[in-house]
Structure 1
Amino acid sequence: MSDSPTGTAFRIANNVGEGRVVAEPVWSVDPRTGKPREQVAVEATGEEIDRAVRAAHAARGALADRTARAALLRTAADLMDEARDHVVEAADAETALGPVRLTGELARTTAQLRFFADIVDEGAFLDVRISRADPATTPPTPDLRRMKIPLGVVAVYAAGNFPLAFSVPGGDTASALAAGCPVVVKAHPDHPATSELCASLLRRAAVKAGLPEDVVSLVHGFEAGVELVRHPLVSAAGFTGSVRGGRALFDAAAARPVPIPFHGELGSLNPVVITEAAAEERAEEIGAGLAASMTLGQGQFCTKPGFVLAPAGEAGDRFVTALTAAVSETEPGVMLDRRMRGAFLDGVRERAALPGVTAPVTPGAGGEHTVSAGVLTVDAGLLAEGGCEPLLEECFGPLTVVARYGSREQLSAVLGPLPGNLTATLQMADEDPEAASLLAELTPLAGRVLVNGWPTGVAVAEAQHHGGPYPATTSPFSSVGATAIERWLRPVAYQSTPQHLLPPELRDDAPQGVPRRRPQ
């Protein structure tokens, strides 16, 4: 995702935002027309950021009760389900993603909240480990009891392309609350009304669960995001957005007097490799599948397959023909906002103008407010020689680049310099002689490796991993699935501590059900 010249990265670099006192209006805009709908809020001042963070910090003690945390998450899910029609209507008006897509995203979001409630109940995330005192070891072992505790206030930066699942009630918020961390969310400017509605539901859920409503707060404005990551009482941050904006916030988090963890999801090309055998076996099926995946949500998924290595020759031609036909039938669609539409059109023009690039389906402006999907092709040999670097960078929107390789060596030469990704996909045939070596080459490039599937769609599951080498993410942790909670915890070992002073989970008479590792 790109960042505008007046966006987060520019303002951090120029130290704008410090001491801000003027409150600018925050408008909800209809992306289908580009016209403002209503003023929703005002951008938070420095004093308002400070109050929100301090209120969240004061609410930490109430979240120590795991039963209350689980109740909060389940109650939030229930309230969002009850308000489904209002939530979907608000989100569609601001994102143009459509009621069907948003109804599914809401279901995913509430399932995720309940998923983390179950994780809180189980208690395995505490990673309790007990080593009994043993003077016979070398060196002697004292009584050691270790568990993970919450970091403190978490700043969450909402995503534009997922107004529910990766925004105010999304995975960062759900996992942080499950860890026992209060949350201050910086709303995304593309859906401020949806953000306000969801934040009010989360705050109502907190009160119903017997917790302070300030365990969740919402602020608006670019400067608010900068001041939030710099606040001394913020202990960690989660971000989903552009490479430029995310890297600027990451650098700001590292430059603090006390640096904090910054878990950012920034950008991903999500490469796909199609073997010769796979193309010969099912070229048409692969072409249709790729078209559906790369145009889903107008190509605005972080897992969109944006770069494909396909074989030269007759089987590869059949694949490109099928892909071309399927993409050509895709109707033009509305992107999330004018800035993203403009960045997409600029990115298409830059890539299409490169030497050796052709467009079987020309992407670009579908209308005054829409874009049309497209496909660009290039000889993989040109990429291996260098000089076509933009083709190896994410273009946020409905575009994929197909590089045609003529040999196994050429394929590897292109894979080698690829940046880190959220996903990498291998399309292979049964008993494919290239499968094992290609899987080994793809594994270092991504956090999730798929075989004969498509990366769009990220299940909320115990074994899920949604992260990858930089610039896909700034840390090795997942933002989806059970292990997402680990981002907001740190381990503490208590040595030779009297039973009555230990946390309940570490005592000999600890509550039943919390998994504990200890030597036999």
Structure 2
Amino acid sequence: MAYRPHGKHLIRGAWIGSATTFASQPIDGLSHETANGDAKDVDRAVQAAEDAFWTFGSTSRAERAAFLRSIAEEIEARADEITEIGVRETGLPEARLQGERGRTTGQLRLFADHIEVGEYLDHRHDPALPNRQPLARPDLKMVQRPIGPVAVFGASNFPLAFSTAGGDTASALAAGCPVVVKGHPAHPGTGEIIAEAVLAAITKCDLHPGCFNLVQGNTKELGAALVQHPLIAAVGFTGSLGAGRALFDLCASRPTPIPFFGELGSVNPIFLLPEAMSARSEALAQDWAASLTMGAGQFCTNPGVVVLMEGPSADFFTETARLALSEGGAQTMLTEGIANSYRAGCERVANMSGVTEVLSSACDGRRAKPYLSDTTGEEWLANDTLAHEIFGPFGVIVRVKDREEMLAVARALKGQLTCTLMMDESDSDLAHHLMPVLERKAGRILTNGYPTGVEVCDSMVHGGPYPASTNFGATSVGTLAIRRFLRPVCYQNMPDALLPNDVSGL
């Protein structure tokens, strides 16, 4: 049976409406009205999270692990309803949402396992040296502690894995931080049913109802009120550069600045090295086209730029990619606004000097087709606009004259989530020269693969230098993500009775 949203906020365990509403925009069927939150709703939710922190922040790792696993179970219990409304709201294929649900429950369980092991606490102990000369040393113990209420912004392109109970929420709850989620207006019903699952887990685990709150809304003012609330200690965000930078600036301008962990997107360049091109340019072109159009190109790791040496191999690669892309039909994008922005970006590039249109794109409404352009390394280096992300199945081929120009293109890159080397063994010399550059540019470097799959595990880094993210030392995927919501506290000569459970007995 189809899920029928009630369209309310979840605050302190209760479903609450607002004076105004906004309408959802499903790909088919009837839309529904959802409460449009304001600063008062934000204050109620954050106050609930602050109240919850005094108990939730002191729960044991075993209690929080049980909570995370319970959320996963409750999501799985609603599997069919989640898929149905997710497809209706986003236009994403059923199989994609089923896979994303598995990723969501998997990362909840991963964080449960991670905190049970306890290595993330980074325990340190320097025992007292009372007889040390010329000065005695006190007993010093250090551990990571939760920072307080965390604001999480749902993402348009991942209604499950990067939204209501996604990676930011999972890592914050694992750390012991209550969460206030601003639901994404592109999929309010999907956010709501996931919040119902979290509430069921809160009830089952007998936790403070304010440890998780959902505020819905489609205004910029709502997001601004959330990040500026004085009780919010940090923000997790996945979205556009423009929106992310505006929120980042608000966080920095607060009387008490707070960290803004924004993942803002990337063009994720692929460097096709000469010997690999000579050996397999046709396969490389076809595989790139498939990666570029996966999910209508609506991934932050979409490989939108290819850098290769000019010559016959480049010509063959370009024509093969054009044919592969032209065979794909139109795909539904997440919102009409995203589709309009995609078309505007393609048109902007098409009108630039020094850019050749290889494959044009034309569709209306929420539908989009691939677009491919071609330029030189010289034009790329002279025109910073070419390096701006266009969210969708858009690709740029950059032809460089030689290895020196390829290195120049690499050095000119701004921060990226990923950089990729397509190479054979005989390309190793050039690859060795590129590697020190790419290490400074990206959070993840690949060889002979495509970046659109982001494994959720201990060693994953999903972040990078600005503008890929606002904090190059953090990741929004993988167990290292928990570090964002912790801070080190040192206890000097502290009696065991006053120490947190994770420190006593050291």
TM-score in terms of structure 2 length? 0.93
- Shift in Å, 1:255: 0.9
What SS does the corresponding residue of 2:502 show, helix, strand or coil? helix
Please tell me whether the aligned partners of residues 307 and 401 of structure 1 are also in contact (alpha carbons under 8 angstroms).
yes
Please show how residues 220-231 of structure 1 align to structure 2 within 5 Å.
220-221=216-217, 222=219, 223-231=221-229
1:446-502 Cα shifts (integer Å, max 9, x gaps): 100011110001000110000000011111200110100000000000011122222
- Shift in Å, 1:367: 4.1
Aligned to 1:86: 81
Are residues 431 and 136 of structure 1, via their aligned partners in 2, closer, same or farther at CA, if it must alter by over 3 Å? Answer: farther
Where does the alignment leave 5 or more consecutive residues of structure 2 unmatched? Answer: 1-16
Are residues 322 and 449 of structure 1, via their aligned partners in 2, closer, same or farther at CA, if it must alter by over 3 Å? Answer: same
Please show how residues 120-159 of structure 1 align to structure 2 within 5 Å.
120-134=115-129, 135-136=131-132, 140-159=136-155
Residue type matched to 1:37 in 2? S
Query: Aligned pair 1:323/2:321, yes or no?
Result: yes
> What is the CA–CA distance in structure 2 between the aligned matches of 1:338 and 1:448, rounded to whole Å?
31
> What is the CA–CA distance in structure 1 between the aligned matches of 2:322 and 2:494, rounded to whole Å?
68
Aligned to 1:9: none
Aligned to 2:5: none
- Shift in Å, 1:356: 2.2
1:191-246 Cα shifts (integer Å, max 9, x gaps): 01101111111111111112123211101222221111111111111011111111
Aligned to 1:37: 31
> What is the CA–CA distance in structure 1 between the aligned matches of 2:133 and 2:312, rounded to whole Å?
68
Please tell me whether the aligned partners of residues 37 and 215 of structure 2 are also in contact (alpha carbons under 8 angstroms).
yes
- Shift in Å, 1:138: 6.8
Residue type matched to 1:176 in 2? A
Residue type matched to 1:128 in 2? H
Please tell me whether the aligned partners of residues 276 and 316 of structure 1 are also in contact (alpha carbons under 8 angstroms).
no
Aligned to 1:310: 308
TM-score in terms of structure 1 length? 0.90
Please tell me whether the aligned partners of residues 49 and 219 of structure 1 are also in contact (alpha carbons under 8 angstroms).
yes
Please tell me whether the aligned partners of residues 71 and 197 of structure 2 are also in contact (alpha carbons under 8 angstroms).
yes
Please show how residues 365-380 of structure 1 align to structure 2 within 5 Å.
365-380=362-377
Match of 1:415 among 391, 410, 413: 410
> What is the CA–CA distance in structure 2 between the aligned matches of 1:61 and 1:353, rounded to whole Å?
57
Query: Aligned pair 1:299/2:292, yes or no?
Result: no
> What is the CA–CA distance in structure 2 between the aligned matches of 1:138 and 1:97, rounded to whole Å?
68
> What is the CA–CA distance in structure 2 between the aligned matches of 1:472 and 1:382, rounded to whole Å?
22
Please tell me whether the aligned partners of residues 68 and 211 of structure 1 are also in contact (alpha carbons under 8 angstroms).
no
Where does the alignment leave 5 or more consecutive residues of structure 1 unmatched? Answer: 1-20, 511-520
Residue type matched to 1:298 in 2? A
Residue type matched to 1:371 in 2? A
Aligned to 1:7: none
Please tell me whether the aligned partners of residues 26 and 192 of structure 1 are also in contact (alpha carbons under 8 angstroms).
no
Residue type matched to 2:71 in 1? A
What SS does the corresponding residue of 2:32 show, helix, strand or coil? strand
Aligned to 2:47: 54
Aligned to 2:434: 438
Residue type matched to 1:75 in 2? S
Please tell me whether the aligned partners of residues 380 and 410 of structure 1 are also in contact (alpha carbons under 8 angstroms).
yes
Please tell me whether the aligned partners of residues 172 and 479 of structure 1 are also in contact (alpha carbons under 8 angstroms).
yes
Residue type matched to 1:56 in 2? A
Please tell me whether the aligned partners of residues 158 and 185 of structure 1 are also in contact (alpha carbons under 8 angstroms).
yes
Residue type matched to 1:57 in 2? E
Residue type matched to 1:60 in 2? F
> What is the CA–CA distance in structure 1 between the aligned matches of 2:112 and 2:226, rounded to whole Å?
27
Please tell me whether the aligned partners of residues 410 and 434 of structure 2 are also in contact (alpha carbons under 8 angstroms).
no
1:67-117 Cα shifts (integer Å, max 9, x gaps): 221111001101111211100111111110110111000000000000001
Please tell me whether the aligned partners of residues 423 and 447 of structure 2 are also in contact (alpha carbons under 8 angstroms).
yes
Please show how residues 327-366 of structure 1 align to structure 2 within 5 Å.
327-362=325-360, 364-366=361-363
Aligned to 1:495: 492
- Shift in Å, 1:359: 2.2
Query: Aligned pair 1:478/2:472, yes or no?
Result: no
What SS does the corresponding residue of 2:375 show, helix, strand or coil? strand
What SS does the corresponding residue of 1:424 show, helix, strand or coil? strand
Please tell me whether the aligned partners of residues 76 and 205 of structure 1 are also in contact (alpha carbons under 8 angstroms).
yes
Aligned to 1:406: 401
> What is the CA–CA distance in structure 2 between the aligned matches of 1:319 and 1:296, rounded to whole Å?
19
Please tell me whether the aligned partners of residues 262 and 469 of structure 2 are also in contact (alpha carbons under 8 angstroms).
yes
Are residues 139 and 29 of structure 1, via their aligned partners in 2, closer, same or farther at CA, if it must alter by over 3 Å? Answer: farther
Please tell me whether the aligned partners of residues 164 and 181 of structure 2 are also in contact (alpha carbons under 8 angstroms).
yes
> What is the CA–CA distance in structure 1 between the aligned matches of 2:171 and 2:78, rounded to whole Å?
22
Please tell me whether the aligned partners of residues 237 and 261 of structure 1 are also in contact (alpha carbons under 8 angstroms).
yes
Are residues 138 and 314 of structure 1, via their aligned partners in 2, closer, same or farther at CA, if it must alter by over 3 Å? Answer: farther
> What is the CA–CA distance in structure 2 between the aligned matches of 1:284 and 1:137, rounded to whole Å?
72
Query: Aligned pair 1:262/2:278, yes or no?
Result: no
Aligned to 1:170: 166
1:329-376 Cα shifts (integer Å, max 9, x gaps): 1111111111111111110011011112122221x2234431111211
1:387-438 Cα shifts (integer Å, max 9, x gaps): x322111001110101111111211222222110110111111132311111
Please tell me whether the aligned partners of residues 23 and 45 of structure 1 are also in contact (alpha carbons under 8 angstroms).
no
> What is the CA–CA distance in structure 2 between the aligned matches of 1:137 and 1:122, rounded to whole Å?
38
Are residues 296 and 138 of structure 1, via their aligned partners in 2, closer, same or farther at CA, if it must alter by over 3 Å? Answer: farther
Match of 2:65 among 58, 62, 70: 70
> What is the CA–CA distance in structure 1 between the aligned matches of 2:501 and 2:289, rounded to whole Å?
53
Are residues 460 and 22 of structure 1, via their aligned partners in 2, closer, same or farther at CA, if it must alter by over 3 Å? Answer: closer
What SS does the corresponding residue of 1:97 show, helix, strand or coil? coil
Please tell me whether the aligned partners of residues 27 and 192 of structure 1 are also in contact (alpha carbons under 8 angstroms).
no
> What is the CA–CA distance in structure 2 between the aligned matches of 1:415 and 1:42, rounded to whole Å?
46
> What is the CA–CA distance in structure 2 between the aligned matches of 1:282 and 1:326, rounded to whole Å?
15
